Structure 1
Amino acid sequence: MRVLVSGGGIGGPALALALRRAGIDVRTFEAHPGPAAGLGSHLGLAPNGLAVLHALGAGEDVIAHSAFPSDTIEFTNGRGRVLGRLRDGSAEHGDRLRTRTITRGRLQTVLAEAAARAGVPVAYGRRLVSHTDHGDHVTVSFADGGTARGDVLIGADGIHSPVRRTMDPAAPGPAYTGLLNMGGSLPAHLLPATPAGTTRMVFGRRAFLGYQTGEETALWFVNLPHPDVGPDTPAPAGGWQRYVLDRFSGDAPYIAAALAHADPAAFTPTGIHDIASLPRWSRGRVGLLGDAAHAMAPSSGQGASQALEDALVLASCLRDIDDPAQALATYEHLRRDRVERVVALGRRQGSPKLAGNAVSAFLRDLALPLVFRAVARTDPHREVFSHRIDPDRPVRPAGVVR
């Protein structure tokens, strides 16, 4: 069996590693010219995602290249009043599985290098434009005029997946959550230091800041309510950086003072979208993985980890089930309920960022301490973080082939 994987971000190289571990031939293609090692945006890798990376032999490299552990969140309002603190419980899983903050570009690079060492290099600069399922094989066409042939095609090509659009043109598109996202890095001394292992989340009156400081560098992101943007959306008067600084007027002065020193390119906005549910993750010999199947808001803290889980489960299904369509249907059957619960969790956790005005911010600041105390008692992370996948466990066919 030969599996074609479209997408060289996080899920694609992870799937390549899992497939190679399962003894399956795999070819991976990526539209961009490289793994974008300089991406300033960052993400959290939770214990369940780190467990997958260790199973794939990439866990120690990822930990070595992560910025810092991050197992506690401190919430404040825009004036600096602490609204609550939550531990995510990941420290209980040991240092190897303690939640880590890492830049997206660094994670992509580590995974691409691990795949190359395993004999599955990512072919960059190959943008998939269409595919055809012939019943007994799949062919893909690239923008450069080239083609490739395989037994299975997996779209690990992101929230705006070309594979998904071709596979199911009637599938619902991503839904905008109402928030823009921007982020990057700063010298650590420009922001008030965060306690060890702690990310600080600041609910400003009109925008939201998250950051964590290390010895030399601070990683930060901003979310703010705004209509969705596209590549042709004009920047506000004065540019996006000035717009963000204005959104934090009336909040603690250190926020705007620090962000004024950031690289203006870090303020390129991206709309935060999610996909609550797709009618199908596969059709015949073509399937979807990660954001292509179930994009979730960053507030979930699980986007990368769920894509990694997908990779391990999908590889096992393709290893143990001879019929590709049945293997893909079984993968969806095993994964759908879990990821859709996590998508819903991300939406709920992101909703307080949508205050948008002084009155709603005031009411939010009154309510959030009660919310955080309730969350601390229920510990919603426990079920998500404790999930483990045994890649050696045989998989039996399940689900309905469509």
Structure 2
Amino acid sequence: MDITTGKVRSALVVGGGVAGPVTAMALQQAGIAATIYEAYDGPADEVGGGMGLAPNGFEAFDAIGVGDAIRAVSTPMNGIVLQSWNGRRLATFGTLPGLDPTRFVMRSELFRTLRQAAEARGITTVHGKRIVDATEDADGVTARFADGTTATADVLIGADGLRSTVRRLIDPSSPAPQFAGTAGFGAMVRDAGVAPTDGMMIMAFGKRCFFAWQVLDDGTGIWFVNLPVPQPLSVNEQREKGGAHWLAHLKQVCEGDATPAAQMLDATDPEAMLFTGSTENMPTNVVWSRGRLVLTGDAAHAPSSSSGQGASLAAESSVELARCLRDLPLPQALARYEELRRPRVERIIKETARTNARKAAGPVARVVRDALLPVMFKMTKPEKNAWQFRYPIDFEAPVG
């Protein structure tokens, strides 16, 4: 740390998913040397399903020069159509004026693109480093890893996801993620056997599950399901039963709904099934920082996948954290970072909780939901929700 200004010059970034590489690249751009420490023994390029990247997320990606690389591996979604189980259209949301469309990307492609961009900039990722403890002194913070090795820098940034170890090091009484009532499944199919959806993602509140799909002009299809489950379901538990089991079960659950679920599930290779485990939210009473330790991304604020904002918010926070560390002494930097970010992310988490409740609705609640949603959406102007998608970042602007 610069002893004359108290500003950070080096950082340990724990976690190599989305937030980790974005944080490291943003820090490098801010003049702060960063090394990524990842628990996995190798790149996690094949981990996870698909996700939406919102326009606000691309503001952050563009701020560090990786936006175009991510656009190249993602597919634009011109809008979203919401419908009920019987095919009744509840609402249509197009791209807001002045904004680029949300884009769909496979998590593996996003991981690979970010990893390669960080490598191209000379940022080191050290694999097989599972953090177990951290100690601080006047000179810096030292991370201790499960293999007995250590690393020291001015600040330690936890970008280690929903079950963050760094979060527990900051606050041993930190709350656990909250189960949101559903489990996620999905796949990409080469020949969906279904008509193209003209760039729209169609989402159906089915009688027994939530089914969404998009079909491109070349016949490639993307689908995902949020299945209400009585208790949390892990990715390992999903995998143990296998793709064939879940495809048969989901086809049965979707039966009777006015969706192409049967055709798209039949077109899915069981080995290509993607499992995402339970949908979960992080509670809003998380402590974000202590001393030289701070959180970013899902470790700090994880809206469930229903928000379509998880990766985008992670990118925003990672870039804003780098700007704060560039411009302010450490204690003030972390305070300003939280001041900038917490109100926004907690508002989105609150909005997402309502969406999750709709997806997990029972028979009676489903009838009420389908009756009220068209009225609600008709009364709500699209611009009212624009705040979620408009978050310009001027990286060069000083943080006040």
Q: Flag whether TM exceeds 0.5 (same fold).
A: yes
Aligned equivalent of 1:47: 55
Structure-1 separation of matches of 2:241 and 2:123: 44
Q: Is the 8 A contact 2:159 2:297 kept in 1?
A: yes
What is the CA-CA distance between 1:250 and the residue it aligns to?
A: 2.1
Residue 243 (1) aligns with residue 249 (2): yes
Q: How much has 1:77 moved relative to structure 2?
A: 2.1
The equivalent residue for 1:361 is 366
Greater CA drift, 31-40 or 273-282 = 31-40
Q: Is the 8 A contact 1:276 1:344 kept in 2?
A: no
Percent identity, please: 39
Shift of 1:296: 0.2
SS where residue 184 of structure 1 aligns?
A: strand
Q: CA RMSD in A?
A: 2.2
- The Cα of 1:194 is off from its aligned counterpart by 1.0
Match of 2:391 among 387, 391, 394: 387
Q: Report how far residue 195 of structure 1 moved.
A: 1.7
Which residue in the other structure is 1:341 paired with? 347
> 2:331 is matched with which residue: 319, 325, 342?
325
Change in CA separation of 1:221 and 1:383 when aligned onto 2, cut-off 3 Å: same
1:166 aligns with 2:169: yes
Q: Distance in 2 between matches of 1:200 and 1:283?
A: 43
Cα 1:220/1:317, change in 2 over 3 Å: same
Greater CA drift, 173-182 or 187-196: 187-196
1:100 is the counterpart of 2:103 = yes
Match of 1:206 in 2: 208
Residues 10-29 of structure 1 mapped to structure 2, 5 A cutoff:
10-29=18-37
Task: Report the AA paired with residue 45 of structure 2.
Answer: A
Q: 1:2 to 1:253 in 2, by over 3 A?
A: closer
Q: Which moved more, 1:249-258 or 1:281-290?
A: 249-258
Are the counterparts in 1 of residues 90 and 370 from structure 2 also a CA contact under 8 Å? yes
How much has 1:135 moved relative to structure 2? 4.3
Maintained 8 Å contact 2:95/2:101: no
Q: Name the TM-score, length of structure 1 as normaliser.
A: 0.90
The amino acid of 1:242's aligned partner reads: A
Partners of 1:348 and 1:253 in 2: CA distance: 23
1:137 aligns with 140
Between the aligned partners of 1:184 and 1:311, the Cα distance in structure 2 is 29
Correspondence for 1:400: none
Q: Do structure 1's residue 292 and structure 2's residue 299 form an aligned pair?
A: yes
Map 1:260-299 onto structure 2 (within 5 A).
260-265=266-271, 266=273, 268=275, 270-299=277-306
Query: Matched residues in 2 for 1:104 and 1:267: separation?
Result: 10
In structure 2, distance between residues paired with 1:193 and 1:387: 31
Deviations 1:75-116 (A, max 9, x none): 122232322211241x623xxx43211111111111111111
Contact 2:192–2:267 (Cα < 8 Å) also in 1: no
TM-score by length of 2: 0.90
Instruction: State how 1:367-378 maps to structure 2 within 5 Å.
Output: 367-375=372-380, 377-378=381-382
SS at match of 1:172: coil
On the 8 A contact 1:240/1:267 being kept in 2, the answer is no
1:171 is displaced (CA, Å) by 1.2
* Cα pair 1:39 1:103 within 8 Å, conserved: no
Q: Take 1:70 and 1:175, find their aligned partners in 2: how far apart are those partners?
A: 29
**1:178 corresponding residue in structure 2:** 181
Q: Does 1:351 align with 2:357?
A: yes
Instruction: Please state if 1:230 is matched with 2:237.
Output: no
Residue 73, structure 1, aligned to residue 80, structure 2:
yes
Cα gap change, 1:205/1:236 in structure 2, threshold over 3 Å: closer, same or farther? farther
Unaligned ranges ≥5, structure 2: 1-8
Give the whole-Å Cα distance in 2 for the aligned partners of 1:122 and 1:88.
37
> SS of the counterpart of 1:341?
helix
Deviation for aligned residue 1:345: 1.4
Greater than 6 Å deviation, 4+ residue runs: 234-238
Counterpart-to-counterpart distance in 1, 2:276 and 2:351:
23
CA distance in 1, matches of 2:122, 2:159: 19
Q: Contact conserved, 1:188 with 1:213, CA < 8 A, in 2?
A: no
> Is the CA contact 1:48–1:386 (under 8 Å) kept in the aligned structure 2?
yes
CA-to-partner distance for each residue in 1:259-282, whole Å, 9 max, x for gaps? 133233525350111113134200
Alpha-carbon distance, 1:207 to partner:
0.4
Q: How many residues align?
A: 387
